[in-house]
Structure 1
């Protein structure tokens, strides 16, 4: 045994004596940080695999371990007590058993993580990925340190010890040494079910369902407080005098896209639910390239060259290059404003 565990001597004494369950908690925290912050791993399913226990179980388990460092005994030990007071004292002394510890770990994790997020909301860092990771990890590490210190103060026979070796030996005996053919068949069915469930979850994580694909095109103006708003659009312009607008494009196509935005000022005639373009000027052309989930805003000035009432200021969005004669019918997206342009 000493030959197999001599590697422990290379670590400091607090690390060597850290209980296995608390060491596993720190390992999950470290793996989650690596799988989230390292660029090559952040896009893999490992981020989700370690992220779920990191949020839903690990903080609560460390907190419960700090509150209850003693080993839990089975309630059967309390059956031989002489009276009700002695039974109550026995329940108090035995702490909590494994099932209670697991249930409380899930419950307290669901309560702790939102509270940490609420605290972050009132800090300059806000609720973002890195602050959440640092806060939850820091809370878990502190809880593990407290749990290890409190557990070390107890006598050895009262400390919580997770019997993982006993569980592994029992599981191996049940799987590979069944008592009957029926048990063997049930073991095979159980293993197949676990493998199928694991494969299904892994496929769902690795190949997530692609949502709806679309692109956005919109116009904004500068508000009184300096923020961009979808309001206060110009209605009257003067020929030769520029007017300011902001055009926006959003990419939700689940892939990079090369866009073209064509700006036209058109004189149109509307009759019988049909619109005919009588005259048009091509004012501007933009060619933004956007990654998925990226938004592009471009402030620009419009200088009308024709005059008239109820002219249509049209913005056309194309994927790739626009045609030689861009129109509303050929555009992927279209927005427009009705304006009156007067001679200066």
Structure 2
């Protein structure tokens, strides 16, 4: 009489090293490659980060979930598994991000990587166990060897001559080159317009509540924002000035009467990042009626350049009209 398989026998069978299904092993290897491409120095600056990372977001979590839910070959066909893998990945990954949003860790790189890795590995382990519970003849397997033999028969049939074999090799090289070119175009996009964002925010980091009524000798606070979209790291220079401006209604022109520097400081901003920094200033004269913010990228004119010439030579400039009163 055949002995019934015990749960621990199934566990041993499921997690024996030499019995890990090839598709589940491929998920483990690809996930490990993605993690290395994110955190390994030098490698994380290459296109490999995108090549390994995109499938971990769009395909592998859903495939692992499908493998855990449908361990038998008769449950789903190959095309259905692939289609559902994409669909479930697109559904699961945002849900993981939504859950992280309500945790102390938030939606950042490290929590996302750890959460996706735990989910994918957990589903892969569940898939291994569930397949071990199914008779070997009924388990779902990816026929890698059969696919390889089919490709060989398609491109290199035994009855073909030497010329046909050469043409088949050229065709394979052309297909590989086309796929590689497509991947390169996707992961290394053409540089778009280069520009820098320069903005100021009020006390609540919103485009409102700017200081307008200012008392001499008291601090007024706001925020300065710089967004670097120049496709390289840049150390910007910010200068702030208090100014006295007059307006001639007859000629409809403004004249700069006084321009006193408050601050000059450098702000290093990495490529494709935006920094918002707090800033405060103090006005000592009631004659001021405007505060000027000048942004310089890598070229700062000498101190001899003053007034409107300095404003015109800045990379970006902003200003606020203010009223300065005595306490």
TM over 0.5: yes
Does structure 1 residue 171 correspond to structure 2 residue 148?
Answer: no
* Mapped contact 1:45–1:202 kept (Cα < 8 A): no
The correspondence of residues 21-100 of structure 1 with structure 2, limited to 5 A, is 21-71=23-73, 94-100=74-80
| Structure 1 position 185, deviation (Å) | 8.4
Distance 1:20 1:302, change over 3 A: same
Q: How does 1:157-306 map to 2 (within 5 A)?
A: 157-177=137-157, 187=168, 190-205=171-186, 207-222=188-203, 227-271=204-248, 272-292=251-271, 293-305=273-285
Structure 1 residues 331 and 47 mapped into 2: Cα distance closer, same or farther (>3 Å)?
same
Distance in 2 (CA, whole Å) between partners of 1:44 and 1:97 is: 36
2:58, 2:86 within 8 Å by CA — same for their partners in 1? yes
**C-alpha deviation, 1:339, in angstroms:** 2.2
Aligned-partner Cα distance in 2 for 1:186–1:192: 10
- Give the CA deviation at 1:273: 4.4
Q: CA deviation at 1:58?
A: 1.5
> Please, which runs of 5 or more residues in structure 1 have no aligned partner?
1-11, 72-93
Once residues 77 and 226 of structure 2 are traced to their aligned partners in structure 1, the CA distance between those partners, rounded to angstroms, is 57
1:132 deviates by 2.1
Question: What stretches of structure 2 of length at least 5 have no aligned partner?
Answer: 1-13
Contact 2:240 2:292 in 1 (8 A): yes
- Stretch deviating more after TM superposition (175-184 or 28-37): 175-184
Query: For the structure 1 residues 183 and 300, does the alpha-carbon distance in structure 2 shift closer, same or farther, using more than 3 Å as the test?
Result: same
Mark the CA change 1:239 to 1:160 in structure 2 (over 3 Å): closer, same or farther. closer
Deviations 1:149-184 (A, max 9, x none): 222223322222322112112212322337568976
Asked whether the 8 Å contact 1:251–1:291 carries over to 2, the reply is yes
Structure with bigger gyration radius: 1
Partner of 1:228, secondary structure, is: coil
Alignment length (residue pairs): 305
Q: Secondary structure at the residue paired with 2:42? A: helix
Q: Structure 2: how far apart are the matches of 1:112 and 1:234?
A: 45
Shift of 1:22: 1.4
Residues 234-289 of structure 1 show CA distances to partners (whole Å, capped at 9, x for unaligned) of 33334444434443333222222232222222222334343322233223222223
- Cα deviation, residue 36, structure 1: 1.6
- Superposition TM-score, scaled by structure 2 size: 0.81
Instruction: Indicate yes or no: 2:293 matched with 1:315.
Output: yes
